[in-house]
A and B are shown apart, each in its own frame.
Chain A
Amino acid sequence: MKNRRKPKIIEIKGLSKNFGLTTALNQVNLKVDNFLTLFGPNGAGKTTLIRILSTLMKPSSGEAKINNIDVLNNPVRARSQIGVISHETHLYDGLKAEENLKFYGKLYNVKNLDKRINSLIKKVGLEHREKDRVADFSRGMRQRLSISRALLHDPLVLLLDEPYTGLDQHAAETLEQILDKFEDRTILQTTHNLERGLKLCCQVAILVDGEIVYKANAEEIGFEELKQIYNQKVQQNE
């Protein structure tokens, strides 16, 4: 765990989201300035929160700001500051590794794209496979490539939605190394994996049934304690 110092960069106020009759998020307030891990069981609303923050979805009410940019009123500008890693890779099977990155790089207007791609591919350890099609990649390799895809435009904010799902050991380590080096950026991570989630973060929060039920600094809480609180909170709502 490291000390990170940054102004509050993700601000969520009174955020709610309904799908038809289901309430996915209910009055969520959250501030993230360095690295927060949001724990919660499946269906708690974690993915919905990430989708709203990454401008893929509009909330029913409330507001969210990223680096002082309102994601509702200014989605296009907000997007250029956000990198998203989720359990879906966002990669085309029919394109080569390098082509995938080139395609997304163009969508993000990345300057010196070739150089950037080279260094990122090295970072995730795929330099000898860059000319291969993603269809031939293993799950772990895809996920590593997906990490470099999310970092293409050097985002200020990283949103991670269950990033460890389906990762092999190598990919999980790569991700942790990258996150660890990401000191000057803000990271919001969601997971139901308590051990992995607690490893690098500075703050923790627990989301159950669309509501934030617990917040704490990671330094003040040990793994066992977190586990106890988490199980208690989740059981209350089941």
Chain B
Amino acid sequence: MEKEKALGILSLIAISTLIVISFLIKSPFFQQNGDIYRMLFFHVPLAWIAYLAFFIVMISSIFYLKKEDRKYDNYAAASAEIGVIFAALTLITGSIWARAEWGVWWRWDPRLTTTLVTWIIYVAYLTLRGSLSEERKARLSAVYGIIAFISVPISYLSITISLHPQPITGGGGISSTIANGLIVGVIAYTILYTYILRIRKNTFESHDEVQMIEKNRRRTNTE
């Protein structure tokens, strides 16, 4: 539990730093639309870590199928939950951005659209987990966890080609200060992700343990 505590404090520090930094960084290029560009330091890292989380779902799924160890299934479930939440936050921040920048809540931007599709896939993944019996849950959701992630790059490719996108960040938009802010953001959210992942995985394991104890107690009572 010590490790979790340390990680918790660390993520608190990291996210606070990110918030402070997001207020300090100035960008003359983005400034013309007001302070909305500060959302960038949350929006972009959230998106990255959401995809990292989905990638971890696939890796855990492959390991589960190879080793049949419940640990990997718990990791996959935990990572999918975090990914869905981070992707949802990406969509929300993206939508607010679009409203401020172009006056509409949604633009069919390839990256945002792909994130929407991906988000739906992993909501489906969690729905699948919920409607499977304990016997087959881990194995079947592992198969879907693999199929799901493979479809993401192909979806992105076809969405990009079909939407004929206009570049969203104009030339010279990303200055080195902005890039530094993004790096801090990615680090901060990675720490937060690791922290929640561990907590959720521990929760699942405790849940398993409680059920085991219940079962054994019932058995010894009757004997």
On whether A and B touch (CB less than 8 Å), the answer reads yes
* Chain A interface residues toward B at CB < 8 A: 19-22, 58, 60, 209, 236-238
Q: What are 22 of the A-B contact pairs (CB < 8 Å)?
A: A19-B134, A19-B135, A20-B70, A20-B134, A20-B135, A20-B137, A20-B138, A21-B134, A21-B208, A21-B211, A21-B212, A22-B134, A22-B135, A22-B215, A58-B68, A60-B68, A209-B219, A236-B223, A237-B219, A237-B222, A237-B223, A238-B222
Residue pair A21, B215 in contact (C-beta under 8 Å): yes
Min CB gap B143→A, angstroms: 15
* Complex Cα spacing A60 to B68, Å: 8
The docked-state distance in angstroms from the alpha carbon of A20 to that of B219 is 18
Q: What secondary structure prevails in chain A residues at the interface with B?
A: loop
Separation of A19 and B139 alpha carbons in the complex (Å): 11
In the complex, how many residues of chain B place their beta carbon closer than 8 angstroms to a beta carbon of chain A? 13
> Which chain A residues lie closer than 8 Å to B212 at the CB level?
21
The minimal Cβ–Cβ distance linking A19 to chain B, given in whole angstroms, is 4
Q: What's the Cα separation between A238 and B220 when bound, in Å? A: 10
A6 to chain B: closest CB distance in Å? 34
Residues of chain B whose beta carbon lies under 8 Å from any beta carbon of chain A: 68, 70, 134-135, 137-138, 208, 211-212, 215, 219, 222-223
Please report the C-alpha to C-alpha distance between residue A70 and residue B212 in the assembled complex, in whole angstroms.
32
Report the bound CA distance from A21 to B137 in whole Å.
12
Additional 13 contacts, C-beta under 8 A, given A21-B215, A238-B222: A19-B135, A20-B134, A20-B138, A21-B134, A21-B208, A21-B211, A22-B134, A22-B215, A58-B68, A60-B68, A209-B219, A236-B223, A237-B223
A73 to chain B, nearest CB (A): 16
Q: How far is the CB of B201 from chain A (nearest CB, A)?
A: 16
Nearest chain-B residue to A22 (Cβ)?
Answer: B134
Which residue of B is nearest A209, CB measured?
A: B219
Chain A residues within an 8 Å CB radius of B219? 209, 237
Report chain B residues within 8 Å CB of A20: 70, 134-135, 137-138
Docked pose: A148 CA to B70 CA in angstroms: 40
Residues of the A chain whose Cβ atoms lie less than 8 Å from the Cβ of B70? 20
Nearest CB on B from A60, distance (A):
7
Q: With A and B bound together, what is the CA distance between A19 and B211 in angstroms? A: 13
Q: Give A48 Cβ to nearest chain B Cβ, in Å.
A: 10
CA–CA, A58 to B68, complex, Å?
A: 10
**Bound-state Cα–Cα, A22 to B215, Å:** 9
Residues of the A chain whose Cβ atoms lie less than 8 Å from the Cβ of B137 = 20
Cα distance, A21 to B206, chains bound together (Å): 12
In the complex, A209 Cα to B223 Cα: how many Å? 12
User: Could you tell me the distance between the alpha carbons of A209 and B215 in the complex, rounded to whole angstroms?
Assistant: 12
With a CB–CB cut-off of 8 A, which chain B residues contact A60?
68
In the complex, the chain A residue whose C-beta lies closest to that of B70 is A20
B139 to A: closest C-beta gap in Å: 10
Which 9 interchain pairs have the tightest Cβ spacing?
A20-B134, A19-B135, A21-B211, A21-B212, A21-B208, A238-B222, A19-B134, A20-B135, A236-B223
The residues of B that contact A58 with a CB separation of less than 8 Å are: 68
In the docked arrangement, what's the CA distance between A58 and B222, Å?
Answer: 31
A15–chain B nearest beta-carbon distance, Å: 15
B73 — nearest CB in chain A belongs to which residue? A20
Residue of A nearest to B210 (CB): A21
Residues from chain B with Cβ under 8 Å of A237 in the complex: 219, 222-223
Residues of B within 8 A of A236 (CB): 223
**Which residues on A sit within 8 Å (CB–CB) of B215?**
21-22
